[in-house]
A and B are shown apart, each in its own frame.
Chain A
Amino acid sequence: MTDQYSLSVWEPPKQEIVPAKLTDPALIAGYAKQLSKREQSQVAQAFLAGNYEMATNFVWSKSMAALKKELGSLGMQFVGEMLGKPDFDEDDDPISSITEKEAVRLAEELGVVSSTEAMRLRHTQEIVAHFAGLDASEIDSEGIELDQLEAITSLKTCVTNILGKPKIEVATKFAEFRTALESETLDKEDTRVSMLLSSPYFFRKLSVTILLSVIKSEVGAKVENTLANLNTILPLVWHGLRDTEKWQVGHAYAEVFAAGKATATSGIKQALLKVKGFDFVPENLRSDSFVKAAEAMIRAHEGMNNFYNEAAPTRVLLNLGSTIPTPAFAACASATLAIKLGNGYGTSWAAVSIADEIIDKFTDDRWRYYLNQCLAGDVRILNKLAFQKPRDNWYSIVEKHKLNDLEIKDKLVAQLVAAAAAKSDTKLESARIALHKKYYGNE
């Protein structure tokens, strides 16, 4: 199968939205087609007056609103599936339902922005969140302010990636495939199925997520189509799926079984029988409370005032019990590591000590499981390693828990860990980018 038949992340036409050398805020604002002339002028005046925080906040808010609105046009249920939030429905407002970090992540996953631009957007988000979270007394006494260069970079990032485009185009090709998954019964010879098999891991994982989401939430013909498609697609992709996704299928079986959904139970059971996958059915749904605790940690971590809000949900996870059920381990490890690694500005002192207690309980087997089955797809953690402070924290984890001594089957993950053990920023970044590319199939 050649690449021309594979699904790939949609890539925007490579045209220059804002000239690379442009540094004048007024001129950059002039390229923001999604801002009115009056708004463009207000941004320019704010820069002239040195009101950088106000200008950056305004531009960022407009950018996020435009991006979220466009993402919402794909369908909020689809967005929920991508974010692992199956409770989203079509009536949900994208602007209030999708967090800023999620919007940037989706934009990257759907190819609206390149990996590099996504990193710039994340950086802008962290700048905005950081300054918004400072106390007035802190600003007054220490004279902390956003400098002009940071403000111009943020403006340029927003205009180049969002506000400078008349309309943000997203991965319509995959959105069509998603519709086909629930409205048609696909044959294994179908070109679209063949395309999926040769696509990056992200799309295979997302397809399984979508199939399970529809099976759990819909009724009638949609469920029958998706069950038939699960029985066609799962045997084809199972061998290459990581344990995290295999547990997801087993968990879906346990969920519909407990909810008395006979058709869905029977259909998922047949698919699991085909792949001999019953080892991945959880003995009970105890893992749900661990997953919910992990989700609360991520919400606090990615929300405003995260340094103040992370400790409480992290303690909830710690108090749930010393043994995290295997089906929930990927989510719990990711959330705990996110707290421990922190962001470009540091970590929450109150939460990190609790996160340490959780991490200290990870056995070598659990670490091996995370490194071999989860980290390569844990984009949240991989993205953090692009920043120096989280990277330094990662070095200390690798050193403390001797992760480099563990058997790691994935070559790129092994490189990532070895680079951390050697405290080599360059090698770590190279392994990180390679993992990212392998997962999404793009730069």
Chain B
Amino acid sequence: MISLPSPWLRPPAPWTILHVDLADGIGPLDPGVDRPCLVVFRYKGAVLGYEHLLPSELPLTQAEHARLAAQAVAWNVRELVRLGGYNDEMLPNRIEMERLGATEKLLAQLDAVLAAQRSRPTALSASIVICTRKRPEDLAACLAAIEAERQAGREIIVVDNGPDAETEAVVRAVAGVRYVVEPKRGVNNARNTGLRTATGDVVVYVDDDVRPEPGWVDALLRRFDKPEVGVVCGLVLPEALETEGQIGFQYDLGFGGMGLKPIAFGRSFFELWYRSPPLWDIGASANMTVRREMALACGGFDGRLGPGAAGGSGDDTEFWYHVLLNGGEVRYEPLAVVRHRHRRTMRELKRQAYGYGIGHMVSLFAAWAQTRERLHVMRAFVLLPCWLAKRVAAAPMRWVMGNPDRVLVPFILGYFASFRHIGLAWARRPHLGEAAGAAPPATRDAQDWRRISSA
């Protein structure tokens, strides 16, 4: 999540997003636009930090640009250099303070770390699955963005969740892309269909509204270096911040992953939290990759959740939780970058907030159904209302300060709307293999840390 220096005084839309790669050397910063800028500092593609600049602060001289860039990236450069090749499990909040070796030539050290990371071989094959519903233009742009992968011979499957001829025409126009129909509504049903259809070891899920950057699949595949790694999520950047809706999507809803450090979530993720774990911190389903065998073995995605079914979000967090419960590991890889086309209008932003309100609760219901842990009840009926109450209390002041909390009301409405789905808390999780006659695994007991891979 890209955090603002302060929630106050956000300049009006439109903004410009500038990507500055420090490996190309640094020059004066003069974007030539009279707009607020979000500058994304990168090094050979790896995102290292952000800076927000007003038009009156531009242009910057070379030295000023270097100073701002250094202030923005130093923390993450240091962290990445410290982590080195990052093979082991890492927690979101690392408290140890190891010494940083040589402080000179930090970027050169980072270069070596990235090169080592990118040269690691991976033997896995990947299938790219695009789940779509009635957005043919988006789908066409998305297919164009992954053209290089198609030419490299990667299997690409489009799952059409609301079959229509236009979408089909878009897919048929591109050679070598498989078109599959899933008439049952719900993004998780489409994902399950993709899971069954795909033949690769790993299934790379892509939403139709994201534009992946080249090489994101390889970055994701490299993190499947242990058999228990079940899911790898990547970084989601905004494609554009042209409207208030898009800016709100980015900054008010906090969309887009877990920062700029690689993280591995395993059993310790549960043990670290005395509350129910903050699953939404893991990543975003817009950039998610799963190990196909493991996903099939633990029952696939829960078709009752997510857009098109229960509504809202929660489809992804429920799956991650399920994987973690079954002894899998979930990882976050910031080197795999996709750009997301945020919804443009305020109306869509509010609908999204409403969906988050539902999704948050629904995934807690589903989690409670699996584990019967009171932590989830606690979060659903104590912590979440308290958090909402706090936001309600702060709302008048934010309104006075000219930064009204636009997503609060829809979030509260979504919270209450989720009670429609409270039946999920007592229902059994559907299992993908049931139709084929496989027995559903016993996932009721949270202490059952069965290793899927060793089964």
A-B complex is real: no
Residue numbers of A with Cβ under 8 A of B are none
